[in-house]
Amino acid sequence: MKQVLITGGATGIGAATAQVFLERGYRVFVTVHQTAAELPGVTAIPCDITDPADVERLFAAVGTVDVLVNNAGISLIRQIQDTTPEDYDALMGVNCKGVFLCSRAAAVDMLRRHSGAIVNVSSMWGQVGASCETVYSMSKAGVIGFTRALAQELAPEGIAVNCVAPGIIDTRMNACFDRAELEAQVPMGRLGTPREVAEAVLYLAESPYVTGQVLGVNGGIV
């Protein structure tokens, strides 16, 4: 049975991704920040993905990782003059350092097996930028650049590295905004669902000849 590790898998896109992989027959592991959520059929492991030692323990506990989904991320809505260095460090820590640490750990075993897939979750704001989300946009643009570079590096070893870039998805992260205003921004006239993003992740995880790509799931915004 193939194994998938999903960071930030307790809610939203991460939880939907866990469900999709479960239905596909994978053994599913997810990271949670502190306490394990109720995820039937899923093994939840507390992990701080910004801590190299914690990430090492995580991969030792999981064993073989056939698919890594770097989904964990945090956001910040704040004008640049009000954004502190601490805000910057927090966002870049989770959104970029965490992706690097987990990808590095997964690659060690994948390189030995000459197979595997890494799917990173970025954002359409990493492609076009968002006002009042400068550092978030910066971090997600970094994920896209990292994806493309790592895909080039690992392709000769049979390892695919890709990225999904969700648009406005119906998750807790967007719950504070007026829904009608959000829907008005989308050519399809509705918010995306976490499952729609999850199915894009599954497609990339199971497409070995697709690598270095950024797949938008945004209803036509970008």
Q: What is the pLDDT of residue 199?
A: 98
User: How is the beta sheet containing 116-121 ordered, strand by strand?
Assistant: 42-46, 27-32, 3-6, 67-70, 116-121, 159-166, 214-217
In this prediction, what percent of the chain has a pLDDT beyond 90? 89
pTM summary value: 0.95
| Domain residue ranges of the chain, discontinuous segments joined by + | 3-217
* One-letter amino acid for residue 204 of the chain: L
Strands of the chain, DSSP E? 3-6, 27-32, 42-46, 67-70, 116-121, 159-166, 214-217
How far from each other are the two terminal CA atoms of the chain, in whole angstroms?
37
Residue with more model confidence, 41 or 56: 56
Q: Is 209 a catalytic residue?
A: no
Look at residues 168, 190, 186 and name the one whose alpha carbon lies nearest to residue 177. 168
> What was the pLDDT predicted at 159?
98
Which CATH number does 3-217 carry? Answer: 3.40.50.720
User: Out of 58-67, 79-88, 154-163, 165-174, which region has the weakest mean confidence (pLDDT)?
Assistant: 165-174
How many distinct helices (H) and strands (E) make up the chain?
Answer: 8, 7
State the Cα angle at 202 between 198 and 205, rounded to 5°.
135
pLDDT per position as a tens digit, 124-151:
999 999 999 999 999 999 999 999 999 9
**Whether residue 19 has pLDDT greater than 80:** yes
CA distances (Å), origin 220, targets 93, 137, 164, 181, 194: 30, 19, 14, 16, 16
pLDDT tens readout for residues 26-39: 999 999 976 555 67
CB atoms under 10 Å from CB of 192, counted, come to 22
> Catalytic one among 88, 136, 203, 209?
136
Contact by Cβ (8 Å): 163, 140: no
